Chains A and B, each alone.
Chain A
Amino acid sequence: MAGRRAALKAVDWAAFAERVPPSQRPMFNALKTRSDALTARLAVLPEKPPTIDWAYYKANIAKAGMVDDFQKKFSALKVPEPVDTQSAKIDAQEQEAARSSAEYIQASKARIAQYEQQLQKFKNMIPFEQMTLDDLHEAFPETRLDKEKYPYWPHKPIADL
């Protein structure tokens, strides 16, 4: 019976827990409790039900043929396996997650590149002791005084002093 017993992959909960960001911890805890409950339920049930002692019943039940009838029907009975509706959805979710995480990593790398660039700028700056005012305005453009907008000293709105 293929597909009946998809082997359970061992999930390393400790490593999983490490990677969960603090904002999603409640969701992780809920998932874990659900998984544990399911494992417990599965562990309680035996894999095969106990066999019925047909000889005893054949000896003890007087009605002729009833036990044989039951036995025949019982062995002919096939219990239908439950249908798996969710695996496809999970696979779709996984694809989605792979895509969005690739995007996120891209964006993250771009951000890192930006930060690196700014860091390099800071590292390559000349020390403040050797800077002239022009050098300062070059390194930090926000310190430049706008002489067109505010032609009179102090060249910036009084509130900003």
Chain B
Amino acid sequence: LLSSAPAALRALPPPPVAVGVLHATRQLHTTQQSLAPLPPLPEKGGEVRHGLIPEEFFQFLYPKTGVTGPYMLGTGLILYFLSKEIYVVNHETVAGACILAVIIYAVKRFGGDVAAFADKLNEEKMAKALAVKNEAMQSLQDAIEAEKKEQWRVEGRSYLFDAKRNNVAMLLETNYRERLMMVYNEVKKRLDYQVAMQNLKRQKEQEHMIDWVEKSVVQSITPQQQKESIAKCILDLKALSKGAHATV
């Protein structure tokens, strides 16, 4: 009868677990190695009741003994140990109880603050690492941009050679034109010189001729002619003065 009870009990369907569903745990690698990326580690550890007993224990006993099962088991066990003196109560017990009380009070009072402080330290470490990573990524982006810009600059090298060729062409053209101008100027200068020479010669000849004619005329005036001309002038003057006296 006893041996058939577990079989009969096992045949019953398991009762639905409605109380306290556990958080999803990590899959253990039970089969051959899988190369898929592992899911991230959980943020918090397994749930624990009264700081000592894991929740799985309560869930394990729930189908058979319900919600109060583990508590009854615990109470029973403690009473058994005390009454049968498997655990002996002595001075250590009192000391242990006081220490336990202090510890529990301290954890309940300061636990949150200490945890927050530790979390802050970790956050700072993470933030620093993240900043480094972001900076590295940014500098890589900038480097890529700079390289692309340099490539674009290199494409413009044809401008340089166009400018150089233009300069050379301009120099040649300027030189040629200067030569033409020089030829023209030289020829013109020579022709103008000839013309100027002619004009100068003409002028000099004229002046010389005039001087010579004057000189010869002056020379040809003989003393006889001079006397006659002076007498005539005097007569003319007298006649003029008479006429002038008459008018005045």
Contact = CB atoms under 8 A, between A and B. Distances in A.
B113 interface: no
A41 B153 CA distance: 31
A12 B156 CA distance: 11
Given A81-B176, A82-B175, A122 B163 contact: no
A42 B174 CA distance: 5
B220 to A, nearest CB: 33
B201 to A, nearest CB: 9
Interface in B152-183: 152-157, 159-181, 183
Interface of B: 37, 40-41, 126, 129-130, 133, 136-137, 140-141, 143-144, 147-148, 150-157, 159-181, 183-184, 187-188, 190-191, 194-195, 198
Contacts of A86: 168
7 contacts: A6-B165, A9-B162, A15-B159, A42-B170, A49-B181, A79-B183, A128-B133
B110 to A, nearest CB: 26
Contacts of A62: 198
A9 B130 contact: no
Nearest to B158: A94
A112 B159 contact: no
Contacts of B191: 52, 57, 61, 67, 70
Contacts of B177: 42, 45-47
